[in-house]
């Protein structure tokens, strides 16, 4: 996360204050040390590790010397930061929550869709804003997709990273694991069935079984809230219009995934889906050379690509009088 923000800021000639995440401070410290080792002058990047984010960022946001605020995190926190930034009309970039739809049409290569689903769902154990959150699968291929998806999930062993058989590591903390199970339980109570998984795994560590839920119904929390865990809820559709409606039925709009052999349909879906990014027959879209970001309540601005450095620049027009004018 830090590299996406610091790199364009350095390129644009900015100095920065980086507040590391309170649950993962060591990564930012190592990153800052590497930047110094690479020759970044003292005082250009200033790192503040803290467990009290508000007490740290509050005074910074109110400081008249600040010109830009870039944040990656939850939509809830993003809203508060945007409110604080409004007092000084501070320029902001917000990379917030996601609720990515993963749409599989009847003409899709199901094996390719399953391979893409594994990448889109289990990246960082599902703890990623780009993680596929809702699997919207055509009713004619839903059983085949679920069966093959479950077979792949069954081979994903939950274990600590120091163990050779580890394929899926722990979630970040107990609160996160408890929320994942709460969402699964809510879906099951509404009629969904766990094809595989559906329970926590004993630690040490906060593990949750790779899980696939079939028969998920509209209105359940798991379709509206960001899961942030290795759980894949499947809901079926009949027509393209229904798939679009289900995919867009969220306050978020970061990324979507679409699997179809029909290129015209794929392009059409890109135009109809309310997301900042689209993976067409691909389970990974992130690329440092491409603009990363969403619409709706998934955020503002872009990181990466040519657009990324523009977030740290502003346009100035200078009108010069013509000395030879009559």
In tens, the pLDDT along 214-235 reads 999 999 999 999 999 999 999 9
Q: In this structure, are residues 310 and 68 in contact, taking their beta carbons and an 8 Å threshold? A: no
Whether residue 5 has pLDDT greater than 90: yes
Q: Could you check whether the bond before residue 153 is cis, i.e. omega within 30 degrees of 0?
A: no
Taking residues 285-314, what's their average pLDDT?
94
Strand partners, 180: none
- Rounded CA-CA distance 261/258 in Å is 10
Structure tokens at 95: 């990379």
Alpha-helical segments (H) within 262-322: 263-272, 305-310
Q: Which of 127, 129, 226, 303 is catalytic?
A: 129
pLDDT tens by residue, 242-264: 999 999 999 999 999 999 999 99
Taking residues 39-53, what's their average pLDDT?
92
Structure tokens at 79: 């809203």
Q: In this structure, are residues 228 and 176 in contact, taking their beta carbons and an 8 Å threshold? A: yes
For 183, residues 6+ apart whose C-beta sits below 8 A from its C-beta are 221, 222, 225, 227, 231
Q: Mean pLDDT in the chain? A: 95
What percent of the chain is modeled with pLDDT above 70? 100
Write the DSSP assignment of 213-266 as a string of letters: EES--TT-HHHHS---SSEEEEEEESSHHHHHHHHH-SSEESEEEEE-S-HHHH
Q: Which of 14, 37, 87, 95 is catalytic?
A: 95
pLDDT tens by residue, 79-136: 999 999 999 999 999 999 999 999 999 999 999 999 999 999 999 999 999 999 999 9
Taking residues 58-72, what's their average pLDDT?
94
At 11 the pLDDT is 95
Is the dihedral angle over the CA atoms 144, 149, 152, 157 positive or is it negative?
negative
- Domains present along the chain, CATH in parentheses: 2-96+298-310 (3.40.605.10), 100-280 (3.40.309.10)
Whether residue 326 has pLDDT greater than 80: no
95 has catalytic annotation? yes
Structure tokens at 91: 């320029």
Distances (CA, A) of 114 to 31, 284, 303: 35, 13, 28
Instruction: Determine how many CB atoms are found less than 10 A away from the CB of residue 127.
Output: 18
């Amino acid at each position: 996360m830090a590299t996406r923000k610091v790199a364009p800021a350095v390129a644009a000639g900015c100095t920065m204050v980086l507040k590391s995440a309170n649950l993962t401070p060591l990564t930012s410290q190592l990153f800052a040390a590497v930047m110094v080792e690479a020759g970044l002058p003292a005082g250009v990047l200033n790192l503040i590790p803290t467990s009290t984010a508000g007490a740290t960022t509050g005074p910074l946001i109110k400081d008249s010397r600040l010109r830009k605020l870039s944040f990656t995190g939850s939509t809830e926190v993003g809203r508060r930061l945007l409110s604080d930034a409004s007092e000084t009309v501070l320029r902001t970039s917000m990379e917030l929550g996601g609720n990515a739809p993963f749409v599989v049409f009847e003409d899709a290569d199901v094996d390719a869709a399953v391979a893409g689903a594994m990448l889109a769902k289990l990246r960082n154990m599902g703890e990623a804003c780009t993680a596929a959150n809702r699997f919207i699968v055509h009713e004619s291929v839903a059983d085949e997709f679920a069966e093959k998806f479950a077979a792949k999930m069954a081979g994903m062993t939950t274990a600590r990273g120091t163990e050779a058989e580890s394929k899926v590591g722990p979630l970040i903390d107990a609160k996160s694991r408890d929320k994942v199970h709460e969402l699964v339980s809510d879906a099951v109570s509404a009629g969904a069935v766990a094809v595989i998984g559906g329970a926590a795994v004993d630690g040490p560590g906060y593990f949750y079984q790779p899980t696939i839920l079939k028969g998920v119904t509209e209105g359940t929390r798991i379709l509206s809230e960001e899961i942030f865990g290795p759980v894949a809820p499947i809901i079926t559709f009949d027509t393209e219009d229904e798939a679009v409606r289900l995919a867009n039925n969220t306050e978020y709009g970061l990324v979507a995934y679409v699997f179809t052999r029909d290129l015209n349909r794929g392009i059409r879906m890109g135009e109809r889906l309310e997301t900042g990014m689209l993976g067409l027959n691909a389970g990974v879209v992130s690329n440092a050379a491409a603009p990363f970001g969403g619409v709706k309540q998934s955020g503002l601005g872009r990181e990466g690509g040519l657009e990324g450095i523009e977030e740290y620049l502003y346009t100035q027009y200078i009108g010069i009088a013509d000395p030879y004018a009559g």
